[in-house]
């Protein structure tokens, strides 16, 4: 009895009880656990039909969590693509946040550098590089660096 292992869908459900996974990430995780690719794909399909596994839910939750951490839309998009989430699902997950990225970039800038607006070009470039590394778009960076000047 000790040599038997649980069916892939049972193990997968236990994984999903801890956190959401993208479909690709879920299948890879099952394969690393020793299940065949066919078993993993079947388990993914079964759990997706029961709505336990959802790329849409995973993407929207990931966008919310990463945005709260001060990460921008470009970086979030890259992370989700790496997890195998489709472009249209990523776009739908990012859409509710569309108007807030400039303010999020400004908040990340203030958290890192304080409220003082950079006076010289060199400091503006340094802060812009920081925000670019966090995954913010050009227009959000411009907004963030100039936000408090008014």
Residue 133, in any domain of the structure: yes
* Same domain membership, residue 77 and residue 46: no
* Burial class (CB within 10 angstroms; exposed 0-12, middle 13-18, buried 19+) of 3: exposed
Q: How many domains does the chain have?
A: 2
Domain span including residue 20: 8-53
Residue 119, in any domain of the structure: yes
- Helices 37-49 & 8-18 angle (0-180, nearest 10): 60
DSSP secondary structure code for residue 149 in this structure: G
* Same domain membership, residue 33 and residue 63: no
* Same domain membership, residue 65 and residue 48: no
* Same domain membership, residue 80 and residue 139: yes
* Same domain membership, residue 112 and residue 82: yes
Residue 63, in any domain of the structure: yes
pLDDT tens digits for range 55-65: 999 999 999 99
pLDDT tens digits for range 136-145: 999 999 999 8
With cut-offs at 50, 70 and 90, classify the pLDDT of residue 35.
Answer: very high
Residues making up the chain, counted from first to last:
150
Specify the pTM.
0.86
Residue 67, in any domain of the structure: yes
Among 36, 53, 70, residue at a domain's last position = 53
Residue 8 DSSP SS3: helix
Q: What is the 3-state secondary structure (H, E, C) of 98-141?
A: HHHHHHHHHHHHHHHHCCCCCCCHHHHHHHHHHHHHCCCCHHHH
* Same domain membership, residue 67 and residue 47: no
Please report the pLDDT score of residue 146 as a whole number: 79
Please report the pLDDT score of residue 4 as a whole number: 65
Mean pLDDT over 70-91 rounds to 96
* Same domain membership, residue 128 and residue 76: yes
* Same domain membership, residue 116 and residue 71: yes
* Same domain membership, residue 143 and residue 127: yes
CATH code for position 49: 1.10.10
Evaluate if residue 2 carries a pLDDT over 70.
no
Please report the pLDDT score of residue 148 as a whole number: 54
* Same domain membership, residue 94 and residue 36: no
CB 63 within 8 A of CB 94: yes
- The DSSP secondary structure of 35-71, one letter per residue, reads --HHHHHHHHHHHHHTTSS-HHHHHHHHHHHHHHTT-
């Amino acid at each position: 009895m000790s040599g038997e292992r649980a069916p892939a869908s049972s193990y997968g459900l236990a994984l999903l009880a801890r956190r959401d996974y993208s479909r690709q990430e879920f299948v890879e995780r099952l394969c690393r656990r020793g299940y065949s690719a066919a078993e993993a794909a079947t388990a993914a399909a079964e759990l997706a039909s029961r709505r336990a596994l959802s790329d849409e839910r995973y993407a929207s939750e990931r966008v919310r969590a990463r945005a709260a951490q001060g990460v921008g839309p470009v970086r979030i998009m890259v992370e989700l693509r790496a997890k195998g989430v489709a472009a249209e699902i990523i776009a739908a997950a990012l859409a509710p946040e569309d108007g807030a990225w400039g303010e999020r970039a400004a908040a990340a800038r203030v958290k890192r550098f304080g409220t003082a607006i950079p006076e010289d070009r060199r400091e503006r470039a340094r802060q812009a590089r920081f925000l670019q590394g966090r995954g913010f778009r050009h227009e959000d960076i411009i907004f963030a660096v100039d936000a408090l000047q008014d």
